[in-house]
Amino acid sequence: MTEYFTPGENSPAEAIAAIGDELGLFDDWMDRYEFIIELGRKLPAYPAEWQDEAHRVQGCQSQVWLAGHEENGRLFFTGASDAAIVSGLVALVLRVYSGRARAEILGTSAKFLHDLGLIGALSTNRGNGVAAMVERIQEMAKGALP
């Protein structure tokens, strides 16, 4: 059975605040990158059979796959990437959006990525990619899950 990401925080806002606090512990972006990479290493295993076009996030420089399922009115996601830093970004995005009701997902814009300084610290392609992950999750929240 596939393990989906379950965040420790009770809401997207709490998750964003906690991520901001954690990133704030580091003085420079190299240390933050290491922290983000470590988050990616802790993601649940992603099924190899889901590393296909149906689950692939378009717009990412690296390969990124996302899948989700609904349980008790909440959407849970799992994801993976072929790049270490991007796996960490997947973990951050899942921490904000996984385990939430559709309304919470749709009510949480990708603006937090700018507010936390992530978009400015990433290459343009990586910034576009992480925004594409959020867009894909919100599309899934609007309709059927793959």
pLDDT in tens, 92-118: 999 999 999 999 999 999 999 989 988
Residue 110 backbone phi and psi in degrees, to 5 = -75, 0
State the pLDDT at residue 33: 92
The reply to whether 135 falls in a domain is yes
Task: Identify the pLDDT of residue 78.
Answer: 95
Residue 48 lies in a domain: yes
Residue 1 domain flag: no
Would you call 85 helix, strand, or coil by DSSP?
A: helix
Q: Which of 36, 60, 75, 93 is catalytic?
A: 60
Percent of the chain, pLDDT > 70? 97
Residue 111 included in any domain: yes
pTM of the predicted structure, to 2 decimals: 0.92
- Whether residue 1 has pLDDT greater than 70: no
Radius of gyration for the alpha carbons in the chain, expressed in angstroms and rounded: 14
Q: Contact at 8 Å (CB) between 8 and 91?
A: no
Do the domain assignments include residue 18?
yes
Q: What CATH code is carried by the domain that includes residue 78? A: 3.90.1010.10
pLDDT number for residue 125: 72
Residue 6 domain-assigned (yes or no)? no
Interstrand relation of 74-81 and 64-71 (parallel, antiparallel or unpaired): antiparallel
Number of domains forming the structure of the chain: 1
Lowest mean pLDDT among 1-5, 61-65, 83-87: 1-5
**47-73 average pLDDT score:** 91
In terms of residue numbers, what domain contains 137? 12-142
Residue 88 scores a pLDDT above 70: yes
In-domain check, residue 3: no
Q: Which residue has the higher pLDDT, 119 or 23?
A: 23
Annotation marks residue 25 as catalytic: no
**80 lies in a domain?**
yes
